[in-house]
Amino acid sequence: MNISESERDALYKVIFSRRDVRSEFLPTPIPNDVLSNLLKAAHHAPSVGFMQPWDFIVVDNEQTKVAIKAGFTQANEQAESLFSADKRSQYKKLKLEGIIEAPLGICVTCDKSRNGPVVLGRTVKAEMDLYSAVCAIQNMWLAARAENLGLGWVSIIEDAVLRDVLGIPEHIDIIAYLCIGYVSEFKNKPELEEKGWLPRMDINDVIHFNRWSKT
């Protein structure tokens, strides 16, 4: 199956306009068929040994969101204290999640025990299954953008909170909590670039040929 130039350019448009959304969520409901599209895109990610180690817990219950938001608030207070004084004031001004405002949350997990203890391709690198779940997240992120939905990955929540609130068994690894919804706008640049938190690196500084070439 051939991908045409216009289809290729569509992919690049989606990749370059994808954003990590926290502040622009609208309450507009997400149709079920659109949610299905996102989950199907995630489920068609590559996985080590085709083990498909992921699960997706879709969250739309308000009380559940409130409990998860409380977990964020607690973890974020601890996070603030880790930054130097000058960075801390900038950090405190950033909105880092949209847990309540986004109509949907999706918790993505990894079941290392799926399909037995020996997994093709995981024999050397034990973390390959976690990486498969991340590939599913990136597929979902691009699918969301292609559906004109914003997605934000909230990583400042203790696993114990998500495990308790969502009833996730102990043997399941928690990878991500994602907020998803239609948005008032997609910013032209990543918010952390726009606000001067960090600049985009020169791509030539991260490319090497045949051997590591930095000191």
Single out the residue of 30, 99, 102, 166 in contact with a copy of itself (rule: CB under 8 A): 166
What is the rounded distance in angstroms from the CA atom of residue 70 to the CA atom of residue 158? Answer: 11
What is the rounded distance in angstroms from the CA atom of residue 157 to the CA atom of residue 176? Answer: 9
Residue nearer to a copy of itself on the CB measure, 27 or 167: 167
What is the rounded distance in angstroms from the CA atom of residue 107 to the CA atom of residue 166? Answer: 9
Residue nearer to a copy of itself on the CB measure, 100 or 168: 168
Single out the residue of 102, 172, 178, 183 in contact with a copy of itself (rule: CB under 8 A): 172
The residues in 11-50 that bind a copy of itself, with binding defined as CB under 8 A, are 11-18, 20, 37, 39-41, 43-46, 48-50
- Copy the structure tokens of residue 200: 């985009």
The residues in 176-215 that bind a copy of itself, with binding defined as CB under 8 A, are 176, 186, 190, 192-193, 197-198, 200-201, 203, 206-212, 214
177, β-bridge pairs: 107, 154
Single out the residue of 26, 31, 89, 127 in contact with a copy of itself (rule: CB under 8 A): 127
Give the residue from 140, 145, 144 showing the smallest Cα distance to 17.
Answer: 145
